[in-house]
């Protein structure tokens, strides 16, 4: 069998120790790998490279398209960028996959039946880092959710469920509040879901969904989440399994895959020989499935499960009466290698198809061009008086085709007929609409802004308001 080239980095803290264990297991199991090593993390940051990765390392990643990565220590303080975020974005790794499984009765857990997979969108949402200080008092972050982004991740979740014998996909959003951004994520989940009638599908509001993951995780199978909720819920789920040290994770895109442990570099136990290498070993199992060596992946996964069943446990999961042998990283690794070829007796035996390789994703659906019509504009400005005073000043500037419809503060309507009790910060949003629903020209908006500017109005932001096939591309303010 031809060797598959991969890029590997040993990382920081316990990284080199757990990578050493993982490489020993991969070799003993007969994984066919041609490994290129790169350096990432602390040493690279300290050479003054803010991304934590040298330019030359990208050449290796682009060549192999597969990255087996140990955790790194992210330096605290200004100027340094998260290496994980940089790699995810640079290589378009749009899906983060995290199986969260409890190993009852061999590892102590409050949730014996837990066996779920979190699929988190990895590129969009509030992680765009587009933030503004709109006024002295007000900060704003932009939440970006795109249709192609939703389609890719929803399709990935359904394809993943199909390929891995899962039965149900649950999407979680907050679309009762964020009707447009989360609304799109939910809507596209429903649309793509129609192509997978064999899979059970449901949607939950994220707050109750996250609570149920913590209290009753056995009800879930695959959970699909936008980026920020995915970040939070995947940590809750990993914690609930009872063993953060046991989780592997993959970040995959159309062309690239990055495989790692869920946990960090654990500097508190680095160099002591006690770290649990399981997370990275299971990350490498996901890598083997991705590169088409499913038979080797099954061999390692089953040997690992048998090791856990036989009670070989590292310190952080060792429990008197449940565990049998308290082992360090090396003895644990030895126990896994000795069990290659064995299968677990109580825990479920894993079987990955040999040679299946990375999931092939169908192309995006063709775009249907909608009719776009500009109907108004929202202008933000700094103001220290009352909303009524602001309205009076602005009314003197409106031109014949743009009427002031409402003023809001922090999303709540404060004019006309605002509530006297509403607290106002110093940034106001003024909504102007075309008179009698007429289309608005850019030149009319510019003329209005010019008049307001001459009246000494301090703009902070403007957003055009459009209709898409007759449907509003903007929400109403609370109380509007
Ligand atoms: P951590 O996951 O490194 O450690 C949390 C706790 O879990 C510690 O007590 C640690 O000893 C223990 N632990 C973690 N992995 C273990 C293992 N394999 N075996 C036994 N015990 C284990 O989280 P942290 O302390 O918040 O972060 C430490 C560093 O790791 C930080 O610099 C952080 O930025 C970085 N980090 C990196 C990644 C990554 O590279 N993917 C992910 C998370 C955190």
Pairing of strands 33-37, 471-472: unpaired
Q: Give yes or no for residue 74 CB within 6 A of ligand 1.
A: yes
Q: Give yes or no for residue 276 CB within 6 A of ligand 1.
A: yes
Residue minimizing CA distance to atom 36 of ligand 1: 264
Residue 345: per-residue pLDDT: 97
Contacting residues for 215 by C-beta, under 8 A, at least 6 apart: none
Q: How far apart are CA 81 and CA 52, in angstroms?
A: 7
Q: Give yes or no for residue 263 CB within 6 A of ligand 1.
A: yes
Output DSSP code: residue 93.
Answer: -
Residue 242: per-residue pLDDT: 76
Give the three-class secondary structure for 68. Answer: strand
Residue 173: per-residue pLDDT: 98
Average per-residue pLDDT in the chain?
94
Radius of gyration of the chain from its Cα atoms, rounded to whole angstroms: 27
Q: Give yes or no for residue 161 CB within 6 A of ligand 1.
A: no
Residue 204: per-residue pLDDT: 98
Centre of ligand 1 to C-alpha 419, Å, is 49
Distances (CA, A) of 457 to 41, 139, 405, 453: 48, 20, 18, 5
CB 41 within 8 A of CB 72: yes
Centre of ligand 1 to C-alpha 91, Å, is 24
pLDDT digits (tens, 9 = 90+) for 112-169: 889 999 999 999 999 888 899 999 999 999 999 999 999 999 999 999 999 889 999 9
DSSP codes, 342-392: ---SSSPPP-PPTT--SPPPPPPPPP-PPPEEEEEEEEEEE--S-HHHHHH
Q: To 5 degrees, how large is the angle CA 45–CA 140–CA 78?
A: 20
Output DSSP code: residue 53.
Answer: B
Output DSSP code: residue 218.
Answer: G
Exposure class string for 39-69: b at 16+ Cβ within 10 A, else e: bbbbebbeeeeebbbeeebbebbeebbbbbb
Residue minimizing CA distance to atom 44 of ligand 1: 264
Residue minimizing CA distance to atom 10 of ligand 1: 266
Tell whether the model's pLDDT for residue 86 goes beyond 80: yes
Centre of ligand 1 to C-alpha 271, Å, is 14
Q: How far apart are CA 287 and CA 51, in angstroms?
A: 24
Tell whether the model's pLDDT for residue 372 goes beyond 90: yes
Q: Give yes or no for residue 282 CB within 6 A of ligand 1.
A: no
Cis peptide upstream of residue 105 (ω within 30 degrees of 0): yes
Centre of ligand 1 to C-alpha 325, Å, is 24
Q: How many CB atoms lie within 10 A of CB 398?
A: 16
Q: The tokens of 170 are what?
A: 């649950």
Ligand 1 nearest-atom number relative to CA 14:
18
Assign domain 115-236 to its CATH architecture.
Answer: 3-Layer(aba) Sandwich (3.40)
Query: Across residues 377-399, what is the average pLDDT?
Result: 94
The dihedral through the CA atoms of 295, 296, 298, 303 has a sign that is: positive
Q: Give yes or no for residue 357 CB within 6 A of ligand 1.
A: no
Domain locations along the chain: 1-91+241-359, 115-236, 372-472
Q: Give yes or no for residue 15 CB within 6 A of ligand 1.
A: no
Residue 30: per-residue pLDDT: 98
Q: How far apart are CA 302 and CA 282, in angstroms?
A: 11
Centre of ligand 1 to C-alpha 17, Å, is 13
Domain 372-472 has CATH 3.40.50.300: no
Tell whether the model's pLDDT for residue 356 goes beyond 80: no
Q: To 5 degrees, how large is the angle CA 305–CA 306–CA 312?
A: 95
Centre of ligand 1 to C-alpha 13, Å, is 9
Q: To 5 degrees, how large is the angle CA 289–CA 117–CA 305?
A: 60
Residue among 166, 101, 156, 200 at smallest CA distance from 290: 156
Residue minimizing CA distance to atom 38 of ligand 1: 264
Give the three-class secondary structure for 380. Answer: strand
Q: How far apart are CA 279 and CA 291, in angstroms?
A: 19
Q: How far apart are CA 407 and CA 221, in angstroms?
A: 45
Q: Give yes or no for residue 39 CB within 6 A of ligand 1.
A: no
Q: Give yes or no for residue 327 CB within 6 A of ligand 1.
A: no
pLDDT digits (tens, 9 = 90+) for 94-103: 999 999 999 9
CATH no., domain 1-91+241-359 = 3.40.718.10
DSSP codes, 89-132: HHTT--EEEEEEE--TTTS--S-TT-EEEEEEE-SSBGGG--EE
Q: Give yes or no for residue 296 CB within 6 A of ligand 1.
A: no
Candidate from 17, 83, 241, 264 with most ligand 1 atoms within 8 A of CB, to mutate: 264
- pTM as predicted: 0.92
Beta strands in 281-388 (DSSP E): 312-313, 325-326, 372-382
């Amino acid at each position: 069998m031809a060797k598959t080239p991969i890029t590997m980095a040993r990382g920081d803290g316990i990284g080199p120790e757990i990578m050493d264990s993982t490489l020993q297991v991969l070799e003993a199991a007969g994984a066919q790998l041609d490994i290129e090593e790169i350096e990432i993390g602390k040493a690279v940051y300290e050479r003054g490279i803010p991304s934590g990765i040298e330019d030359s390392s990208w050449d290796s990643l682009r060549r192999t398209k597969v990255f087996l990565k140990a955790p790194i220590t992210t330096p605290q303080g200004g100027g340094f960028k998260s290496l994980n975020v940089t790699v995810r974005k640079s290589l378009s790794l749009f899906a983060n996959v995290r199986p969260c499984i409890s190993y009852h009765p061999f590892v102590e857990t409050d949730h014996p039946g837990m066996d779920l997979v979190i699929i988190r969108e990895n590129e969009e949402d509030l992680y765009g880092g587009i933030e503004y200080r709109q006024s002295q008092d007000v900060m704003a972050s932009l939440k970006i959710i795109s249709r192609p982004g939703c389609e890719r991740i929803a399709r990935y979740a359904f394809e993943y469920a199909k390929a891995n014998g899962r039965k149900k996909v649950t999407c979680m959003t907050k679309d009762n509040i964020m009707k447009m951004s989360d609304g799109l994520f939910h809507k596209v989940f429903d649309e793509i879901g129609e192509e997978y009638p064999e899979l059970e599908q449901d949607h939950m509001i994220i707050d109750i969904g996250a609570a149920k993951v913590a209290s009753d995780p056995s009800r879930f199978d695959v959970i699909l989440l936008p980026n920020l909720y995915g970040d939070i819920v995947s940590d809750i789920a990993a914690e609930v399994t009872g063993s953060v040290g046991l989780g592997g994770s993959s970040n995959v895109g159309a062309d690239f895959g990055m495989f790692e442990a869920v946990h960090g570099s654990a500097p508190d136990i680095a160099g002591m020989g006690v770290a649990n290498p399981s997370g990275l070993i299971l990350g490498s199992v996901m890598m083997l499935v991705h590169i088409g060596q499913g038979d080797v992946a099954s061999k390692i996964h089953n040997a690992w499960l048998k090791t856990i069943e036989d009670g070989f446990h590292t310190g952080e999961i060792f429990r008197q009466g449940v565990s049998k042998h308290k082992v360090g990283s090396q003895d644990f690794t030895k126990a896994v290698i000795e069990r290659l070829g064995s299968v677990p007796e109580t825990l479920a035996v894993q079987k990955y198809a040999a040679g299946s390789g990375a999931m092939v994703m169908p192309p995006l659906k063709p775009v249907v061009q909608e009719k776009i019509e500009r109907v108004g504009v929202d202008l933000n400005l700094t103001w220290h008086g009352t909303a009524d005073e602001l309205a009076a000043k602005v009314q003197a500037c409106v031109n014949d085709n743009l009427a002031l419809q409402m003023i809001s503060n922090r999303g709540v309507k404060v004019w006309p007929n605002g509530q006297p009790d509403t607290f106002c910060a110093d940034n106001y949003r003024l909504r102007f609409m075309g008179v009698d629903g007429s289309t608005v020209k850019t030149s009319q908006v510019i003329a209005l802004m010019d008049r307001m500017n001459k009246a000494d109005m301090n703009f902070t932001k403007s957003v055009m308001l459009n209709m898409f096939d007759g449907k509003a591309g903007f929400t109403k303010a609370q109380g509007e």
